[in-house]
Structure 1
Amino acid sequence: MKKRMGTFTSILMSAMILTACGGDSTAGSGDSSNALTLYSGVSEDAEKEAIEEVAQAFEDETGISIDINFPGTGYEDQMRVRMASNDLPDLFDTHGWAINRYGEYVADLSNMDWVEHFDPAMAPILKDEDGKVYAFPINQAKDGIMYNATLLEEYGIELPTTVDEWVDAMETVKEKGNGEVTPLWIPGSNQYTIAQILDQLSTPLLVTADSHNYESELLDGSVDWSTYTALPEFLKELQEKELLNTDVLTASEAQRIELMAQNKIAFTFAGGAFGPAVTELNPDIQVGAVPVPAFWEGDEPSWIGGERNTFAVFKDSKNVEEAKQFIEFLAQPKNAKKLAEATSLPAGVTSVETENYYSEFYDKWAHVEIQPYFDRVYLPSGMWDVYAITGQELLSGTKTAEQVSEEMQSEYLRLRNQ
């Protein structure tokens, strides 16, 4: 495992995902037949509650009710079906795809007052060269690896900046935890949590290191996906060394908060609301965030980020003006602050200052650059499912690392040509 830097390596994160997780839920008020429809990809209870509270305040002020839906892991599938029939909700989360996937379906928000407060990091993601603004950003992603800061301090473990250092840390956890602590815990019953990990680790594997930068080949379609094999090899090696939870393919996200609060997890990939939920359950546990370690020698760690949760307006909605009115309401500092803080992420507009659970960790690693999500820049639509399926097949033993790379290659080419 040693000297992986410069030979091979890498690893993981969740979040949120934005991409969305956790169970179905619907909330609404008033006469739902006259309500605005709103779909969101948020997954944590605190995030859902904040949206519901702001929606209720909007109804109290305007008399306009909102039928809120949280489809969980089915979010993207439902939105694809609704795009195909041009029947999207009045308001919906573009979850990282405001321009590339949903661009033709959303109304222009450029004439709204809050636009002048765009965070410079968000403007290129949600605003095109013609000035069209595609969505209101609730927050902005800054993903890395979540860790049990209390436990690592107790074990005397330094925070890793390379994958080799991270593996050393996990092996120390395994030794000092006497089998009671899982070094890296993955809720793989939701295959998209595995996809999130693979996506985040693809950036240091294939982009950020000068010695292994395949950016141009990824963009023009000529990349040789055998260069990806080191990543599934690494994940499989962690499993074989018993550094992953033994129930990796059946474990659910619902277990994760309680296990971390019980000091039974060292590292995991989770969304921003994870830390506050753990500390609320056990005030003696502090969850930290560390950037994704460098995969290759000479490289630096990376935050993975960009658009996380947003609200866009369906351009063909019968309630465009009412939906825009709701977004203006969301953009009021007190409401924007509530939503951003519920996700424990920075706000997407500069007019809002948030008190963030992870602020001390973000400050510690403020010098680390934020890289965009790999799939949003380099992969065709549909590859998220390929990440998820091949990741589960790898961990179940039905595919080798080489076969995973072959599947990624064939699907990458097929989807690019669609």
Structure 2
Amino acid sequence: MRKGSQVMKRYGKKMTALLCAGTMAVTLLTGCSSGGDNAAVSQQPESTAVTGSEEKATTVVEAQPSASDVVLEVETIWTGDMLNGLQEIMDDFTAETGIGVELISPGDDYENVMKTRMASGDLPDLWETHGWSTTRYSEYLAPLNEETWVSHIKESIKKTVTDSQGNIYVVPLSIDPASICYNKEIFEEAGVDATTIRTWADFEAACDKILTTGKVPVYVGGKSVNNIANLFEVMAPGFLTNEDVADNQGAALLDGSFDWETNWTPMAQKLDDWLQKGYFNKDILTASDDSSIQALANGDGAIVISGNHTITQALSYNPDAKLGIMAIPSPNENGKVYVSSGEGTCYGMWKDSEYPDECRKLLEYLAKDEISIKIATINGKIPAMEGVTNDDEYVTKEFNIMSSAFGDDLLFVNYFDRAYLPSGMWNDMGVSGNEVFMNPGQGVGKCVETIKMAYDEKISQ
């Protein structure tokens, strides 16, 4: 272990940062609605991938005794069983190299903790970048272009983790594709074939059939604004920015000229229409994230719109559940279905770490085939390194089945919020969406007004 005085000094600084972040979190909750920003890893932070709990407190995992004086501090989004799995990997690293690793898991306060630590200049040796390696965190991270594993990064994720100067700041261990998760048994009972759902009109026809079975077509844990934001996250590319959109709005979103009333209203109106038709669970605004996962697992809800890791969580409740992955439909008859994707689990190293060589050793270790497979499998995602597969893992298998069914008619697009919205708007998508569900039949205008106001404020910053 690191010498006592060094450990205590580092620990004291760390706890000061965590306490400050806690104070910030209370202030934010007092002043406005709860929630983070785009860094909710769109499709939900991995911290929510914990069965049966909503982690709030910071967890400091005691490092395995090491043979050296170095203990690396690693900040992670993972909690619960996933954190335990990560700790086992870190313990193996310590046993192999003699370098200690102390995992810090702030849970839902991850963003507040990291923002406070960036402001104070006291950052961990390594941390999980949750989708923001090339923007928010790049000035604090060391470029890793010369590492041997860089040449093995899959092309499908390489562009995402490379900045405009060609720098890579993280080792990408998994890709986070997000589409729509569904219960196969409910679909079969309703006579619905997921591979025939190519447009939102097809989706609505499927929901009508599911209603006749007495099951909830679309179950949303709306107590968390993340899950409301997800509804817009999956719909927006097909309406606004995909390559097959005739009146593409990508440039307008980026330069501030986007007409929200004209272009966002159709999506908000569609959600209101679905609400009026009874597609959502009646307790949408109070249902927890966990309740939607249980509904999918236990056959009470047919569809959950979230990251594909939802399936891994659902199977922990019901290992016998038959679950699948749908592509995201297009609003247009001749449009292509699609899947959104971005950074999954990615770690970078602080450019001012006292232990750069040891940090690089840990990143190299995590990039090993057998380790990256473990990490991708634990969190239900797809390995990001060439030649590395976990095709036998349930989520990957279902994702491959879906991909094969659509072939060239399937687009892979970046997460909408990360590609086209100013930093900080993930939460705004969710808060504005609440207006639709709080005021059935009357909330569409307020929804659009709310998100436009947030956009106008943030695009000018």
**Corresponding residue of 2:3:** none
1:23 pairs with one of 44, 51, 55: 55
Question: Are the counterparts in 1 of residues 219 and 304 from structure 2 also a CA contact under 8 Å?
Answer: yes
Identity %: 27
1:247 pairs with one of 240, 261, 283: 283
- Cα distance per residue 1:29-80 (max 9 Å; x no partner): 247996322222346x553333222111112222322222333332222222
**Corresponding residue of 2:379:** 343
Q: TM-score normalised to the size of structure 1?
A: 0.89
Label 1:261 to 1:272 Cα distance change in 2 as closer, same or farther (>3 A): same
Deviating 4+ runs (over 4 angstroms)? 13-16, 31-34
1:189 pairs with one of 213, 223, 233: 223
How many angstroms does 1:361 deviate by? 2.7
Mean Cα deviation higher: 391-400 or 24-33: 24-33
**Corresponding residue of 2:153:** 118
**Corresponding residue of 1:7:** none
Amino acid at match of 2:204: V
**Corresponding residue of 1:327:** 363
How many angstroms does 1:292 deviate by? 1.0
Label 1:365 to 1:36 Cα distance change in 2 as closer, same or farther (>3 A): farther
Counterpart Cα distance in 2 of 1:37 and 1:244: 43
Q: TM-score normalised to the size of structure 2?
A: 0.81
Residue 102 of structure 2 aligns to a residue in which SS? strand
1:362 pairs with one of 403, 410, 414: 403
Counterpart Cα distance in 1 of 2:42 and 2:321: 19
**Greater share of residues in helix:** 2
- Cα distance per residue 1:206-259 (max 9 Å; x no partner): 112433421121122111011101112211222222211111111112223332
Label 1:366 to 1:276 Cα distance change in 2 as closer, same or farther (>3 A): farther
The answer to whether the aligner puts 1:63 opposite 2:98 as a matched pair is: yes
Question: Are the counterparts in 1 of residues 239 and 245 from structure 2 also a CA contact under 8 Å?
Answer: no
Q: Mapping of 1:13-412 within 5 angstroms?
A: 16-18=43-45, 20-21=47-48, 22-24=54-56, 26=59, 27-30=61-64, 35-42=71-78, 45=80, 47-128=82-163, 130-159=165-194, 160-177=197-214, 181-208=215-242, 209-226=244-261, 227-355=263-391, 356-358=393-395, 359=397, 360-367=401-408, 368-397=410-439, 400-412=443-455
Question: Are the counterparts in 1 of residues 373 and 383 from structure 2 also a CA contact under 8 Å?
Answer: yes
Label 1:237 to 1:19 Cα distance change in 2 as closer, same or farther (>3 A): farther
Counterpart Cα distance in 2 of 1:295 and 1:162: 5
Mean Cα deviation higher: 390-399 or 184-193: 390-399
Amino acid at match of 2:258: V
Counterpart Cα distance in 2 of 1:119 and 1:255: 35
- Cα distance per residue 1:329-356 (max 9 Å; x no partner): 1011111110011222221110312123
How many angstroms does 1:261 deviate by? 2.5
Label 1:93 to 1:236 Cα distance change in 2 as closer, same or farther (>3 A): same
Q: Which has the higher contact order (CA 8 A, sep 6+)?
A: 1
Label 1:14 to 1:246 Cα distance change in 2 as closer, same or farther (>3 A): farther
How many angstroms does 1:412 deviate by? 1.3
How many angstroms does 1:127 deviate by? 2.1
Amino acid at match of 2:102: D
Aligned residues, how many?
A: 402
Question: Are the counterparts in 2 of residues 15 and 269 from structure 1 also a CA contact under 8 Å?
Answer: no
Counterpart Cα distance in 2 of 1:15 and 1:139: 15
Instruction: State the superposition RMSD in angstroms.
Output: 2.4
Question: Are the counterparts in 2 of residues 347 and 353 from structure 1 also a CA contact under 8 Å?
Answer: yes
Counterpart Cα distance in 2 of 1:386 and 1:274: 23
